[in-house]
Amino acid sequence: MITFQTRYGYPSVYGTFKKKNETIKITTIPLVKYNKITGIFRIYITHEDSIRIHFYSKENIDSAMNTSLNSKNFHLYNGAIQGYVFSTAKRGETIDNKYIQWLEVNQNRLEERVGFYCIEDWDCIEAYRSPTSGIIYSDPGHTNQIGWSLNASGNGLNGFYHCFLISYECYYDWSQHGFIFSSGNGWNHYPWITNSSSGGTGNGNNNPKIKTWEEQVLIDAKDCLQQAGINGARAMKALQDATKNSCGESYNDLLARTYQNLMDNGKSCTDAAALAEEVKNTVDKTETVFFDDEVMEFFEENELIDPCSGEKISDMLKNEACANQKTLDMEALEEKLDGFDYIINNISNPRINCLWKKLMNSNNNVICEQISYYEGKTELNLKIFSQDLNGQNAITWFDDRDGQPYISFDEGISTKCDIEIIKTMIHESVHAGILNIVKGTHAAGWGINDVPELKNYYDNYSLWHHEYMAGAYFEELVSALKQYFGNEYTDLVYEAIMWKGLHNTTAYRALPQSKRNQIENIWDQFNNSTTCKKSCL
């Protein structure tokens, strides 16, 4: 369970919703880590009797969307994707358009719709009802009483059939069919899709009206605390403060939990003592694991980012503390940071900072790839910021005083196209990776002599950083740029942009003149462009 929670986070009330009809109830509960949905639970309850639970990670969902699904898996993942979209929307998160597109493209797979139908077993006997009392008897003389009904047809003289439901079993039919049923059989399609029926009723549609349980709970909880006056205001303030030390729970989560526990214990919000006790219980549970004040202050002043995952170090350590139920103090933090690769982000320019974070969160982290390229022997503690460099795009250097590399981006690049800024970030990141090797900043004390390929450029070229990047690492640089932007540009554009800054190298001068002309024409196009993509504005 700890491994599962470490990977996927915790269930969130915020984003949970329920859909039901006469025969089935489906509850969708998102799993949330670092305020992002990592997967969803789908809980199916049939006729308030049988229950089935499926978990779909976001990785499973993304993989299924790129797979040819058979009829059964199509309907399972169709529901999972709709659930993911609904939960994402309910949480106010941005929905990637690829999920909407998948649902639209696949909405007409009607010939494969799953059949959901139920078989009822009844026992019927001839019965007689008293016209005055409504009591049902098994004989016309009204001596053997078997039930009571004011709605039964017949009277004391005329018999009718009184039926008892013996069993009720529901089934899924995953085969392809046209749903032709004989008269008298009732059935329902899978609740997420448009239905039709023969001999029964169909329920559900492509755009079902979702009844969100979480929304109603929060409305009730807030109304309840408002009725409590000053005591309610104090309670809300205490819960808000508690979120700072909670293990993945939002204010809404804590508010809903407090309110539900209060109701479950038969208390009311106007009961000041009961409310205070329940709030204390909630706060105490959130504060069983937390960072101490010194650690909290450190993370507020320093945004440390893992260079491989793009995640905040504070989130990673907090998640670890939550899993281990152990408070993290400053001494323990310093020990942990000694074993971490991390980036301290102090970029002050809003657009440069925004694009840097997008690069870090793109699963395309060149810094991490650079570390892996050297067999993971380096320890990278990189500090980045922005300042006025008088037109020089960026500089990267190593400070021997603190044993760390630095990257500074020129404030002026914030006016450039996205692809040019991302290229600069990738380029400078490799400089930082090389400096780690040169300075021997790694666990085993390795230096440049331990990396023969890099040593060759170090010994034979004056501009050996750029010569190495152009001669031995260029394909990786182009691949990183292409991976970030996808098919937005041609391969020639990616190569041309990455050559910019490496044009004084032996490898570039060795290119045919015609190829260099193509590359330099592309540079001119971007230099003079007023329509190139610029995000984070």
pLDDT of residue 213: 56
Share above pLDDT 90 across residues of the chain, in percent, rounded to a whole number = 18
What contacts 419, CB < 8 A, 6 or more positions away? 481, 485, 489, 493, 497, 526, 532, 533
Pull the structure tokens for residue 257: 């939990």
Give mean pLDDT, residues 503-524: 94
Look over the chain and give the mean of its residue pLDDT values, rounded to a whole number: 75
**Radius of gyration for the alpha carbons in the chain, expressed in angstroms and rounded:** 32
pLDDT of residue 180: 31
**Dist. CA 246–CA 288, nearest whole Å:** 9
pLDDT, tens digit (0-9, with 9 covering 90-100), for 346-398: 899 999 999 988 888 776 656 666 655 444 445 567 888 899 998 889 999 88
Strands (E), 74-149: 115-129, 135-137, 145-148
Among residues 453, 297, 438, the alpha carbon closest in space to that of 380 is found at 438
**Dist. CA 356–CA 421, nearest whole Å:** 9
pLDDT of residue 122: 61
Per-residue confidence at 414, pLDDT binned at 50, 70, 90?
very high
Place of tokens 């993945």: 248
pLDDT, tens digit (0-9, with 9 covering 90-100), for 141-181: 767 665 544 344 443 334 455 565 656 555 554 443 333 33
Give mean pLDDT, residues 504-522: 94
pLDDT of residue 511: 95
Among 20-24, 178-182, 309-313, 469-473, the range scoring the smallest mean pLDDT is 178-182
Residue 468 has pLDDT above 90, yes or no: yes
Phi/psi at 345 (5° precision): -95, 110
Residue 82 has pLDDT above 80, yes or no: yes
pLDDT of residue 226: 83
Among 115-119, 177-181, 265-269, the range scoring the smallest mean pLDDT is 177-181
Of 280 and 27, the structure prediction assigns the larger pLDDT to 280
Among 52-56, 337-341, 435-439, the range scoring the smallest mean pLDDT is 337-341
Q: 237-241: long-range contacts (C-beta < 8 A, 24 or more apart)? A: 238/279, 238/283, 239/279, 239/282, 239/283, 241/283
Residue 195 has pLDDT above 70, yes or no: no
DSSP H or E stretch at residue 394? strand 394-399
Which range, 71-80, 164-173, 257-266, 329-338, is most confident? 257-266
Residue 330 has pLDDT above 60, yes or no: yes
pLDDT of residue 403: 75
**Dist. CA 154–CA 139, nearest whole Å:** 13
pLDDT of residue 151: 40
